[in-house]
Amino acid sequence: MSGPLLPTDPASIGGHRLLARLGAGGMGVVYLGRTEAGALAAVKVIQAEYADEPDFRARFRREVEAARRVTSPWAVPVTGADPDAAAPWLATAFVPGPSLQEAVARHGPLPARSVRVLGRMLAAALREVHAAGLVHRDVKPANVLLAVDGPRLIDFGIARAADETAITSTDLVIGTPGFLSPEQAEARGAPVGPPSDIFSLGCLLAYAATGRPPFGSGTADALLYRTVHDEPDLEGIEAVDLLTLLRLCLAKDPADRPTDERLGAELLVEDAIPEGGQLDWLPEDVVRAIADRSAEMLALPDIEPTAAGTPPEAPGRRRLLVLASGAAVLMAGGGVAAWAALRGEDDPGTAVATTRHWALGLQADLSGAQKTAGQAQERGARLAIEQYNSRKNKPFELTLKTVDDGGSAGRAPAAAKKLIQDADVLAVLGPTNDETANAVLATYDEALLPLMCVSAGGLLLSQQQYRSFVHCRPSDSLLAIPVAIYLMKQGVTQRAGLLQDRTGRTYAQETASITTLMLRRLGRPPYPRVIPADTGDIEPVIADMLRAGIGSFVYAGYAPGAARVARELVTAGFDGPRLASQAVIDPAFLAQAGDAAEGWVMTASFIDPSAVPEAAAFTAAFRKRYGAAPGYYAAEAYDTVNLFLQELVKGTKSGRPPGRKELAGLLRKSTYKGITKQFSFRATDGQFTGWGISLHRVEGGRFRFVGEAPSKV
C-alpha cells in the first residue's frame, strides 16, 4: 500500500517523477515513480548515511549488477540504476500486487493448487538466476510480489556468484533466518550454491501453504539452530504430492534436494502456464486485492513538472503547499504556536511558544482482552509523569496522551498515526501485545518516533533492524534460559521431561528450543515430546514421559494447556519440579488447574512490586494515587518512563527537548537502575541487554513473586 510523499522527499530521482512512497526501512525508501514515457517504476533509494559507507555502496552496486544479469518473466527487471550517485538508486518495473508475505498475512494460506503454480514459476525464475551464475540467497515471502499473471522475484541485494565464497567470517550469517538453508545457517565459509535457493524456496512454499514459517519464528540463534537440527513443521498440508515436494526441497543435505530444472519438469507438472494466456492461479480475495492496488495506482494524479536541477535551498511544490498552509493558519489567528508546529522539529531555529505542552504518548489495550496489563501500564506511566511535573527544577511540564487500540492489530495503525501526527509527542510507550506491536513498528520507525515496549516480547520484534525501537524487557525466548539453570540448581539428576504444546504455536516452539539448547549445553539433554494441536487425550504422552524416568517437567505453551497437563501429572502421582514460562501466569491456569497448580514455577519479565523492598515507595505512591495495589507491568512502565525522563532532561537545551531522532539515539545508549531491573540496550537495534527475569511460584492458589531468576549455575 502506498503512502503520500513527505515534504522532505525529492521531487524526482534519475528521471523518475516521484508519486508516492511504497515503503521505508532502516536502509532507505522505495518510491513509486513515473518515467517521462509514463511507465511506472519502483525506485529504491539508499539513505545518505549508508551511501557514505564504501562496503555498503559496493554491496548495492553488486545488487544492481546481479539483478541486470537475470532475464525471466518471473523476476522483476531492472529499468535503471545509478549506484554511484550521491543517493544511490535502483529502479525496477512496478508490480502493483502485494508481496506473498502480505497476501498470506491478510488472506490466509494459499490453496494447494496455487502453491504448486507458485512453485513452478519461482523454480523457473531461479533457473534463470542460476543460469546467470548467481545464487539469490534471500528467497523469502517478502521478496516475491504477486500479480494476476504470476509471481515476481525481487531483491538481489545479497546475491553472489555461485562459485564465490561470500562469507569471510565463520560466524557471519547472510540471509533471512527462517528462510535460509542449513549451509547458510552454519556459516562455515564454504560457497553456497543453487541447492541453498531450493531449500529457501521450500521454506517459502511451506509458508504459503500453512501461513507460518516451517521453522517457526524468533531470535536468529533459535531459528538457525532449528533450521540445522529440527524437522520442518508441515502440519496441515494434506496434499500428498505437495508434502512430498516440500520434504525434498527441505532436505538437510544439499545433495538430496531437487534441482530447479527437475522441480519445473518433473515435480510440478500440473497447472502448466498457458501460451499467451492468463493463468487463473490465485484465490478470488487475493486477485481482488491486486485489482484494488492496481486501481489505486492508476488513480494517482499527475504531478506538475519540476526542474531536475532545482537548487537544494529552493522548496519544492509540496513544501510550498505546506508553507502556504502555515501562512493561512497564521492569518486565521493561529499565532506563533501554529507556525512552530509547521516547522521541522529538529530545526534549531524553530520558534517555540512558551505555552507548548510536550507529551509522552501511550498506545495500549485499554478496553480489550489485555486491558488489565494496558491499564496497569497507563497508571504506572501517569504516576511517573505526575511525579516529574511536581519537581521544581524541571525544564518544562509533560502530559501523557493515550490512544486505545483495543489490543487489535487492525486498529493499531490508526492509533499509532494519531500519536505520530501530534508534533508534541516526543516518544511512545507501548503497545501492549505482540500483534499490535508488529502492526505498528515499521510505522513508528518511518516517523523516527521512539517506541518503548514493556510488555510485548515476541521474537518477531527482533527480526528486523529498526531505528527507533527500544525493547525495555527481555524477549519471550530468553525467559526459557533460567528454566534449565533452575533445574540444575535443584540438583535433580534424572532427565527433564520437555513437553511442547502445539496449541502454543511459536511461543511454545521458542520455549522448547531454548530450553533444549540450554539443557544440552549443561550436559543434561531433556526427554522431549510434542502434543499436536488437535490431541484430545494427553495421558499416553504423560505416561510415556514418566516411563522414561524423568525427574522434572517443563511445559512449553499457554495457560489452558498447562492446566490440563498439571491435572494429568497429579493423577499420575508426579511431584517433581514443574516449570513453565510467563504465558502460564494467567488466572485461567489457576482456575482450570485448581489444586494441581500448586508448586508450579514460572519465569517472567515482570515483578510484583508489592513483594519487592526496593519498590516500597512506588507501591505506596501507587496505592495512594489509585486506591489499589499495582498490577503486573505497572512498575515496569513506571521505570521505563523514568528512563525516558532521564534522557529527555539530559538532552534538553535552552528549554527545548531533543528531537525524536536524537531522543531515540539517547535512549538506546542509556543505562538506568530502576526498581524492577537494570536497563541497558544494544545501541544498533535497541534490543534489551540486561537480565530482568524473575521467578513466580503458585502457592495457596495464587502466584507469588519469588525473586530474580538465576543467571548462573
> What pLDDT score does 1 carry?
58
Is the separation of the CB atoms in 619 and 599 below 8 Å? Answer: no
Label residues 476-513 b or e (16+ Cβ within 10 Å = b).
bbbbbbbbbbbbbeeebeebbbbbbbbbbbbbbbbbbb
> Which of 322, 317, 290 shows the shortest CA–CA distance to 302?
317
Amino acid code (one letter) for 222: A
Q: Rounded to whole angstroms, how far apart are CA atoms 23 and 313?
A: 26
How many Cα neighbours within 13 Å face the side chain of 6?
A: 14
Which stretch of 178-182, 344-348, 685-689 has the lowest confidence by average pLDDT? 344-348
Residue 183 DSSP one-character state: H
> What pLDDT score does 189 carry?
55
The predicted model gives 663-683 an average pLDDT of: 95
Question: Over 70: is that where the pLDDT of 368 sits?
Answer: yes
Amino acid code (one letter) for 194: P
> What is the Cα 612 distance to its own chain's centre?
33
How many Cα neighbours within 13 Å face the side chain of 128?
A: 19
When pLDDT is cut at 50, 70 and 90, the band that residue 397 belongs to is: very high
Question: Over 70: is that where the pLDDT of 359 sits?
Answer: yes
CATH class of 478-604+696-708: alpha beta
How far apart, in Å, are the Cα atoms of 24 and each of 29, 45, 428, 548?
4, 10, 20, 52
Give the residues across from 91 on adjacent strands.
43, 80
Alpha helices in 468-586 (DSSP H): 481-490, 505-521, 539-547, 559-571
238 Rama class: left (phi>0) / alpha (psi -120 to 50) / beta? alpha
| 221 flagged as catalytic | no
Question: Over 80: is that where the pLDDT of 711 sits?
Answer: yes
pLDDT mean across residues, the chain: 84
| Direct distance between the N- and C-terminal alpha carbons of the chain, in angstroms, rounded to an integer | 50
Question: Over 60: is that where the pLDDT of 300 sits?
Answer: no
> What pLDDT score does 181 carry?
93
More confident residue, 267 or 173: 267
The catalytic residue among 84, 138, 271, 405 is 138
Is the separation of the CB atoms in 399 and 422 below 8 Å? Answer: no
Residue position matching grid coordinates 515476541: 458
Question: Mapping DSSP to helix (H, G, I), strand (E, B) and coil, where does residue 201 land?
Answer: helix
Which stretch of 98-112, 157-171, 508-522 has the lowest confidence by average pLDDT? 157-171
Asked, colleague to colleague, whether 358-474+615-681 and 478-604+696-708 share their fold, the answer is: yes
Q: Where are the domains of the chain?
A: 12-94, 100-294, 321-347, 358-474+615-681, 478-604+696-708
Which grid coordinates are listed for 521?
Answer: 549445553
Q: Rounded to whole angstroms, how far apart are CA atoms 273 and 150?
A: 9
The predicted model gives 412-422 an average pLDDT of: 94
Length of the chain: 713
> What pLDDT score does 299 carry?
56
The predicted model gives 389-411 an average pLDDT of: 94
Q: Rounded to whole angstroms, how far apart are CA atoms 28 and 14?
A: 16
The pTM of this model reads 0.57
Q: What is the CATH number of domain 12-94?
A: 3.30.200.20
When pLDDT is cut at 50, 70 and 90, the band that residue 506 belongs to is: confident
Is the separation of the CB atoms in 636 and 694 below 8 Å? Answer: no
CATH class of 100-294: mainly alpha
**Domain spanning 358-474+615-681: CATH 3.40.50.2300:** yes
pLDDT tens for residues 42-54?
Answer: 998 987 667 777 7
pLDDT tens for residues 144-168?
Answer: 999 888 899 988 755 555 544 443 3
Q: Rounded to whole angstroms, how far apart are CA atoms 636 and 703?
A: 18
> What pLDDT score does 408 carry?
94
Residue position matching grid coordinates 518503548: 452
pLDDT tens for residues 621-655?
Answer: 999 999 999 999 999 999 999 999 999 999 999 88
Question: Mapping DSSP to helix (H, G, I), strand (E, B) and coil, where does residue 262 land?
Answer: helix
> Which of 83, 99, 81, 87 shows the shortest CA–CA distance to 23?
99
Question: Over 80: is that where the pLDDT of 398 sits?
Answer: yes
